[in-house]
Amino acid sequence: MLRLLLVSVLWLLQGCASVTVDPVDTASASVHDGRLYVEAVLKPAFVQQLMARVQQGELITARYQLRLYRVQDWWLDQELVDRDITHRLRFHLITERFEMQEEGGPVAYSDDSDEAVRFLSTIRELLLQQVVAGDMYRIEVRFQMEPNNVPWLFHVLHRMVGFSQSPDAVHVLTQRVEGRHP
């Protein structure tokens, strides 16, 4: 009985498997007014696959995890920011509109498929309020599809084991930031 339960759980989690390759096409960091922003864009072929699923009415929940480290020469890198961003996108077949929502934010509706693609495939996020000129920062961007329509327990299990992916699934950007001294 226990073996059957274990096989069932593994089968369900396999159906909700995380992305194992890096779907992030580009990631860049920029400094504006002393603030560090990161922008990440998914690969066009991957976005087309997701949009095909959305056009069939499937809810897509995409989760980006951003980590920012200050690179230190003679010590471990200092973690400054660890942030999750969740985007939900659904196409309502009856109204023929896209429903877009960031976690904790209001729901926005649009008839424009290009806007829905941008919402799902691109993030631009403020990571750090004040940068130190000349410091080297490392930014890790991870992308993961979250399971939908599964029991609560399996959703929690998926979140717990979801970011134990292979290192290939992490897009790493290391960049020296130029700017003013605080």
Q: Report the number of distinct structural domains present in the chain.
A: 1
Domain for residue 76, yes or no?
A: yes
Instruction: Give the CA dihedral 94, 96, 102, 107, nearest 10 degrees.
Output: -70
Residue 63 tokens, joined: 């989760």
Domain for residue 73, yes or no?
A: yes
Mean pLDDT across the chain: 77
Cβ burial of 116 (10 Å; 0-12, 13-18, 19+) is buried
Domain for residue 12, yes or no?
A: no
Domain for residue 8, yes or no?
A: no
Domain for residue 17, yes or no?
A: no
Per-residue confidence of the chain (182 residues) as pLDDT tens digits? 555 444 444 444 444 444 456 788 888 888 888 788 888 899 999 899 989 989 988 898 888 888 888 888 888 888 888 999 999 999 998 999 999 999 889 999 999 999 999 999 998 888 777 777 778 888 888 888 876 665 666 656 655 665 444 333 567 766 666 544 44
Q: What is the pLDDT of residues 60-104, one digit of tens each?
A: 888 888 888 888 888 888 888 899 999 999 999 899 999 999 988
Domain for residue 53, yes or no?
A: yes
As a whole number of angstroms, the distance between CA 27 and CA 118 comes to: 15
Domain for residue 6, yes or no?
A: no
96-101: Cβ within 8 A, 24+ apart: 98/54
Domain for residue 18, yes or no?
A: no
DSSP one-letter code for 151: -
Residue 149 belongs to what domain range? 23-176
8's CB contacts (< 8 A; 6+ apart) are: none
